[in-house]
Amino acid sequence: MATTTPRFQFTAVNGFFQQDSAPANAALEAVTLPGLGLLDRVYDTDDAFDPRGEKHPWERFAHYLDHLNRSGGGQTVYKLLYAARHGEGYHNVKEAEVGTAEWESHWAKLDGDGTITWADAHLTPRGEAQARAMRTFWADAASTLHLPLPPRHYASPLARCLDTCALAFSGGGGGGPALPEGARFAPVVKELLRERLGVHTCDRRRSRTWIRETHPAFGFEEGFAEQDGLWRPDVRETLAEHAVRVEAFLEDLFGSESAPIVSVTAHSGTILALWEVIGHAEVRVAPGAIVPILIKAEEVRGEE
């Protein structure tokens, strides 16, 4: 996968969400907090935007985010990412059954065990329920808390992420779509959002044709190949290599996407690599959970 000279430097902007800090117990996995854990804090823009103190915290935050981008003059750009981990997959079930050491050394290299299959793992029924719970969360938070729904969606091409994103936003799991008024569900599939590449068959993707046939609402980034040319059976990416991939995703996102709020449906490893790139605390995310993060991109070179 080709690399380019970085255009931006990315930084996590802390002080807005409860999960900006790592939990005291590093073994704990973050869950979706009420209101996504937005802190009810004061903003420089409150006096003009909300002089009577009548606005919801999410309304004030969204206004402040717009203010940050207006003030950046195009050289500094801010985006709020709703980082979602896919719901429970069959690979998660097998790893929990045999333990991580046994999973890593043996089972992860197989397609299945004769009873369940985890190559490009699908969601379990529990994972599907977690994704439907995401849709309920989005709809409720938008109506009661004025939480801004993301108009743009990006997803890993692995089946568990495609299914999670579709159930969480399109209304396929019951109820209407969890989208801003007038928005269309048209997520973009991004290779760069994949889980750590190599060895584990759960991280080997299906063909472009299969994705198009099973998820026709999803579009593809330019150059998305028919077959998986990235996964190798004998070499697994390091965290540092994964972080390079995620940084390339951010470069593309900040360089081409105008929406200040986007959703990203990906994997636990991908989210950890994202934290590595932006200097965020190491917050491990539970299956089916959403963690918000405000990211600042400062331009370090002009467009060529």
Where residue 227 sits, what CATH number does that domain have?
A: 3.40.50.1240
Which candidate in 88, 128, 191, 195 is catalytic?
195
Strands 188-189 and 219-220: parallel
Q: For the chain, how big is the Rg over CA atoms in Å?
A: 19
pLDDT recorded at residue 304: 47
Number of other CB atoms surrounding residue 11 within 10 Å: 16
Distance CA 85, CA 108 (A): 19
Residue 75 lies in a domain: yes
Q: Are 262 and 253 in contact (CB under 8 A)?
A: yes
Residue 228 lies in a domain: yes
Distance CA 20, CA 74 (A): 25
Overall size of the chain counted in residues: 304
Number of other CB atoms surrounding residue 41 within 10 Å: 12
Which candidate in 86, 91, 153, 200 is catalytic?
86
Residue 304 lies in a domain: no
pLDDT recorded at residue 287: 97
The count of structural domains within the chain is 1
Please confirm, yes or no, whether 195 is among the known catalytic residues. Answer: yes
pLDDT recorded at residue 3: 52
Secondary element (H or E) of residue 298: strand 290-299
pLDDT recorded at residue 178: 85
Residue 112 lies in a domain: yes
DSSP structure string for 29-55 = PB-PPGGGGB-----TTHHHH-TTS-S
Residue 44 lies in a domain: yes
Distances (CA, A) of 18 to 48, 63, 292: 26, 19, 10
Please confirm, yes or no, whether 86 is among the known catalytic residues. Answer: yes
Residues 6 or more apart whose Cβ sits within 8 Å of residue 7: 251, 254, 255, 299, 300, 301, 303
Residues of the chain where predicted confidence (pLDDT) is lower than 70: 1-4, 172-176, 301-304
Residue 1 lies in a domain: no
Owner of token pair 């990203």: 264
Residue 236 lies in a domain: yes
pLDDT recorded at residue 301: 67
User: Which residues constitute the domain of residue 80?
Assistant: 8-299
Furthest CA-CA distance within the chain: 64
Residue 42 lies in a domain: yes
Strands 290-299 and 188-189: unpaired
